[in-house]
Structure 1
Amino acid sequence: MSSPALTNLMHETRRFDPPAELAEHANVTADAYGSATQDRLAYWEEQAGRLTWAEPFTRVLDWDDPPFAKWYVGGKLNAAYNCLDRHVEAGLGDRIAYHWVGEPENDTRDITYAELTDEVCRAANALLELGVRTGDRVAIYMPMIPETVVAMLACARIGAPHTVVFGGFSSTALQDRILDCDARIVITADGGYRRGIPSALKPAVDEALKSCPDVRNVVVVRRTGQQIEWNEGRDLWWHEVVGKQSSEHECEAFDAEHPLYVMYTSGTTGKPKGILHTTGGYLVGCSWTQWAVFDLKPDIDVYWTAADIGWVTGHSYIVYGPLSNATTSVMYEGTPDAPHKGRWWEIVEKYEVSILYCAPTAIRTFMKWGAEIPQKFDLSSLRLIGSVGEPINPEAYMWYRETIGGDRCPVVDTWWQTETGMIMITPLPGVTSGKPGSAMTPLPGVCAAVVDDSGKPVQKGSGGYLVLTEPWPAMLRTIWGDDQRYVDTYWSRFPGVYFAGDGAKLDEDGDIWLLGRVDDVMNVSGHRLSTTEIESALVSHPKVAEAAVVGANDPDTGQAVNAFVILRESAADEGAGAEIVTELRDHVAKEIGPIAKPKSIMVVLELPKTRSGKIMRRLLRDVAEKREVGDVTTLADSSVMDLISANLAGGKQED
């Protein structure tokens, strides 16, 4: 899995040492690595002390029946209490929990911990009135509004596992998830805002429930005022059913292994996998990592995870991690370019955001728009910036650090998954040097390795597969309703260890470089090439803003490299003819080698992305292999594929 480009990059890359002031006052010191290595379970026992336990646990880890783990055995706690009540009881009720920013300008709310606690209690009482009991599942299909957080915590408060379905998913996707986890209550809204336009949600719920006869009630938040169909007896307004409730609710403590939520993620068979997270271990993992990785100082920091709550990043680092640490967070409903392309930086300036956590896709978009946009705003409040969701290419890392971070903010390039529940591999900002493009090392208490095809650890300077060799607190417990699929999917490729499905390399220092999903590693004439690596080479060209690379079947080479690129606005004005395609192919050959030169490059205006910013490479693979494009229902804008197909039909793809 090695290639000259990444090898050279790993030798030549810059290192950024922790800023002296941050290192001096860091939450976590270098000693943590040693103590966690010496006694890993004792280390995780110590971190559990961050939470309030109604009953203490008697055993840190039960790993008697791998891969089925139990953490903090015998302990009891309540997630909502740990996120809310205890902070109010500690005198922090007036602290802002969320600066909520709606997409329409001047649509904002500041919500204190006391206010959030009261609203969660009302919502919990409403759910109880609707017949929801401990263990019942509740589906949440909502925009990025405070009531989404309230709904999640109300479920946690009464022990009803929630399944949050991303608001960009179709009615079919919603229906499948409701049926799979047998939810009886759905919480939704009439709609949300996207680029200044109301976007409906309730109609998708109505359509989904045609095939979900066991759903008793739909609770609807009035957000946009759109006209919606109403099913009398089933549908209820949030402000009516929740608004009439008491703000007093005595929460119950649940076993540490009580299910907290089910989150669905893509499966290789096409059927989504319901990832089950339980309460104690997950909350310990989220709480500790948010505090440690971001060097959080909750009494002074303003923290912003620019993600959607419909994904695990939102669960762990908008809701459960930050609230368990009494953090003041920003929560934003809209897109980065509405009502203007400086919207994010306007928010950073207004709320004096000190920690920003976002996806490389967003960073590359900002690169395309140009540095002059963020330079109009005062970003001096930022002291730490992070990356999440996919490997960040060095070019984007450097732009992020220099343009957004003022060349002073450390970048925490984090690797983790829906399944891991918490950040697993990242630099610790007060301890670890940063390298552009590298996630660096596992966190204290996390055991990861890069192995070859036979499962043996690779040597420094070599590549292979990323595995986790020991259980960790926030790990998934199973796939909802399918233990065997859990075993087969994650624990069968390399017996005894968790296979993350990602390729990785170790550099000469032993630091980890993620290469993306293994199915995004191409075999071209016997050479294994990473799509991420070629994308990084393309984006390093000054004319390219963003790139996506896929491998397509080829009768001569097994697979061929196919690239789709978005040009920076200054370069796009020059046209997108054969000259730029030749220039980019030669650039990749120079950066990596002739074997990596794309067989085809298509210049496009947009790439197919979900609303969370993930590039849907399977659709690009369909285009490259000249077959019918698959399901596009999860795209933010399905018309993008029509434009790409039109480009292809028009002969604009260059070989």
Structure 2
Amino acid sequence: MHSSLRRFNFRLAISQPRAVIRRLASSSAEKGTYLPPTSYEEDYRWSLSDPESFWAAQANQLDWHKKWNKVLDNSHQPFTKWFVGGELNVCYNALDRHVYDGRGDRVALIYDSPVTGTKKKYTYEELLDEVQSFAGVLKRHGVKKGDRVLLYMPMIPEAIVAMLASARLGAVHIVVFGGFASKELAVRINHSEPRVIVTASAGVEPTRVIDYKPILDQAIELSDSKPQNVIIYQRPGYGKVKFQSGRDLDWDSEMAKSSGNVDPVPVEAHHPLYILHTSGTTGQPKGVVRPSGGYAVVLPWSMYRVYGIKPGETWWASSDLGWVVGHSYICYGPLLAGLTSVLYEGKPVGTPDAGQFFRLVSEHNVSMFFTAPTALRAIRQYDPDCVEGNKYEMKNLRVIHSAGEHLDYETRLWAQKEHTFNVPVLDHWWQTESGWPICAPCLGYQDANWNPPKDTSGLPVPGWNVQVLNDKGGQTESGELGRIVIKLPLPPGALSTFWQSDERFANTYFQQYQGYYDTMDAGARLEDGEISVMSRVDDVINVAGHRISGGALEEALLEHHVVVDCAIIGVPDSLKGHVPVAICVLRNDFTGDTKQVSAELIKLVREHVGAVAVLKKIIFVPKLPKTRSGKIARNTLSAMADSKPFQIPVTIEDSSVFPVILEEMKKAGLALKAELPK
């Protein structure tokens, strides 16, 4: 038993809202795990017809300091509140609970950094030690319930320690990508007004080392809000930073002084766990607020029900902690569920080769991993025959889950091949705002004879009342492209508002369709109820009165054996209103004639989408501009092609590709007056 822990009184005898709460009925059962129910259909009906009893049953799996007096308060839509009156601590449920239940020696976190050559494992007990110590550091410097702590960190274990330590004190954390530019970092500092900022000396990229301290110092200088302290983790081997007297503190020195015995602070269920700023913001950002209670309830449930992974197995989400995936499925979800989570500081390719995903899965016995289609496409581009990947055996891998962009058929087919990953690749769909999956195959409900969907994002997940509406607000026909909306109330775990901006929250998502949350995504409901999510509404192109999904065109282009990535944008046309333009990336080993490829691509689009698509212009580039989560900057590309003023999104991973794309556009007769922003 953990020597410095004192048992906190979170255990309660909570009356069951339903006669039977499903839990594992085997000899290996443990608190916080769930039985596969009779069927997906039963749970989905239950979640919509009686959401209060459905989610109360799941909430009973956690440890609460104080039981809720009302499961759902839906009286002030769209400001839904779950588990009203209930109090808990998310850090306690993610760490202490497992240690107290005898699982402290289970590995909680595996850190793997090919860019630094570092690997390290933390058991639940060891991770709790670190978190308690850093919580003591924050507490000693005045951090208390409701204060904000901003993290400007690379993908290192200390970032997760700082997240959990903030949650332990009831503080609200704000994670900003390490290496983010000073101007945008200053906007987030101003917006959240953190008492303390936690950073590291450097971030290590494939081709360079980024010194964080000068960027952060400039951001603080630009900001009206000044932190009381900056705590700096100095990475071994990457130099020492210059400290500002009276403000800056050394991580290691502060940890050495910490008593390490900090009780978790109970917070109300609707208390913010974190603020996450949406990507691509300019000016005043949209700060998504995540409520603690509902989030803690749905994440472990989603690990078992949606992803189908079991307690004690190893899970990996190949994302950045700065994205919602990093919050939900690197940090909180796996730990709340008692899993082993992998934290990877590297890229799909280039750190040092295209075999790193395979190595990591093999070396750490990963059972399932979550990635974006763009990562799979990058591996295919650099190693189409999987020469690097075939060096590793992946005996434990059962499935790959994909989200972030539409998963096209060709990428799925390549990744599932015997010489590649040789497991099913399942598409699913959700958003920063939702915090967890909206549509998915829901693997936790399936038996061994189940056939996964091949061309959709799966069925609506229990709790999400998904509808597809036409321009008039009516239900679409089966297969008809429409706007995807969610009937209120939103389930637990979804955003509750924007930070200090309730009015903007209400106006952004709930104005156009009364009683619904507007996802701003386009797709279709099929006859079997599955949802095919194709693109953002902004990416739907109107060609001569026909609404065409850019995602459908991209799907056709990616069927060509040399095309590994692509983006469709719409450009104005005097006759048809708009016409599609394709921007394509070819395999690295391609040496043929691009004119021949263009002709073949135009033929593919005609065969799969129809002549109305009128694809005539195809541009070939070495790579596409993408955010760290794998999203393509299509709106920026459209503005460039139309010679409109544009800004390069601050979340783009490599902006050096823009001059190349602009030059290729001009060769194709587009972007003739466009200029790169200074």
1:62-97 CA deviation, whole Å, 9 max, x = no partner?
Answer: 001111111001111000000001111111111111
Match runs of 1:236-635 below 5 Å: 236-266=249-279, 271-299=284-312, 301-337=313-349, 338-368=351-381, 369-373=383-387, 374-403=389-418, 407=422, 409-429=423-443, 430-431=445-446, 433-470=451-488, 471-570=490-589, 572-576=590-594, 578-635=595-652
Contact 1:262 1:480 in 2 (8 A): yes
- For the structure 1 residues 404 and 355, does the alpha-carbon distance in structure 2 shift closer, same or farther, using more than 3 Å as the test? farther
Displacement of 1:336 in angstroms is 1.7
Cα distance per residue 1:579-636 (max 9 Å; x no partner) = 3222222221222112213231110001111233221112211331134542354322
Q: Deviations over 1:28-61 (max 9, x none)?
A: 5414234334422211111112211111112110
Distance 1:29 1:173 in 2: 49
Partners of 1:354 and 1:331 lie apart in 2 by 15
Structure 2 residue aligned with 1:189, among 189, 200, 217?
A: 200
Cα 1:214/1:569, change in 2 over 3 Å:
closer
| RMSD of aligned alpha carbons | 2.1
2:229 alignment counterpart: 217
Structure 1 residue 365: Cα displacement: 1.5
Residues 444 and 612 from structure 1, CA distance in 2 versus in 1: closer, same or farther, beyond 3 angstroms? closer
Question: In 2, Cα distance between the equivalents of 1:518 and 1:61?
Answer: 31
Change (3 A) 1:116 1:628: same
Q: Distance in 2 between matches of 1:642 and 1:628?
A: 15
State the secondary structure of the residue aligned to 1:116: helix
Answer with 551-560 or 599-608: which moved more.
Answer: 551-560
Distance in 1 between the 2:159 and 2:181 partners?
Answer: 18
Provide the secondary structure at the position in 1 that maps to 2:366: coil
**CA distance 1:180–1:562, change in 2 (3 Å):** same
- Distance, in Å, in 2 between the alignment partners of 1:400 and 1:284 is 33
AA aligned to 2:468 is V
Q: TM-score, normalised by structure 2?
A: 0.89
Q: 1:527 to 1:211 in 2, by over 3 A?
A: same
The offset of 1:641, in angstroms, is 0.6
CA separation in 2, counterparts of 1:353 and 1:87? 21
Amino acid in the other structure paired with 1:239: D
Contact 2:180–2:650 (Cα < 8 Å) also in 1: yes
Aligned counterparts of 2:310 and 2:419: Cα–Cα separation in 1: 21
Aligned residue for 1:610, secondary structure, equals coil
Unaligned runs of 5+ in 1: 1-24
CA distance in 2, matches of 1:269, 1:28: 45
Q: Which position in structure 2 is the counterpart of 1:103?
A: 114
1:305 and 1:357 in contact (8 A); partners too: yes
Equivalent position of 1:152 in the other structure: 163
Which letter maps to 1:450?
A: V
In structure 2, give the amino acid aligned to 1:513.
Answer: S
Q: Deviations over 1:379-435 (max 9, x none)?
A: 22101210111221122222223358755x443322111111111210112436422
Tell me, which stretches of 5 or more residues in structure 2 are unaligned?
1-33, 672-678
Q: Aligned partner of 1:296: which letter?
A: I
CA distance in structure 2 between the partners assigned to 1:181 and 1:457 by the alignment = 40
Is 1:644 aligned to residue 630 of structure 2? no
Matched to 2:630, the amino acid is: G
Structure 1 CA distance, aligned partners of 2:621 and 2:146? 48
- Note the C-alpha offset of 1:287: 1.7
Return closer, same or farther for 1:404/1:81 CA change in 2, 3 Å cut-off: farther
Secondary structure of 1:457 counterpart: coil
Aligned to 1:48: 59
1:517-553 deviation per Cα after TM superposition (whole angstroms, max 9, x unaligned): 1001011111111111111111111121110111122
Alignment of 1:21-170 (within 5 A): 27-30=36-39, 31-104=42-115, 106-170=117-181
Query: Which residue number in structure 2 is paired with residue 178 of structure 1?
Result: 189
Cα 1:269–1:219 shift into 2, 3 Å = closer
Q: How far apart are the structure 2 equivalents of 1:238 and 1:558?
A: 58
Task: Verify the 8 A CA contact 1:416 1:424 in the aligned structure 2.
Answer: yes
Q: Greater shift after overlay, 65-74 or 589-598? A: 589-598
1:123-162 CA-to-partner distances (Å, cap 9, x unmatched) read 1111111111211111111100000001011110111101
CA 1:105–1:347: 2 relative to 1, 3 Å:
farther
1:427-446 CA deviation, whole Å, 9 max, x = no partner?
A: 11243642223012111222
* Structure 1 Cα separation of the partners of residues 164 and 45 of structure 2: 36
Work out whether residues 88 and 113 of structure 1, in 8 Å CA contact, stay in contact via their aligned partners in 2: yes
Query: CA–CA distance in 2 between the matches of 1:413 and 1:219?
Result: 39
Which whole-Å CA distance do the structure 2 matches of 1:50 and 1:405 have between them? 38
% same residue: 38
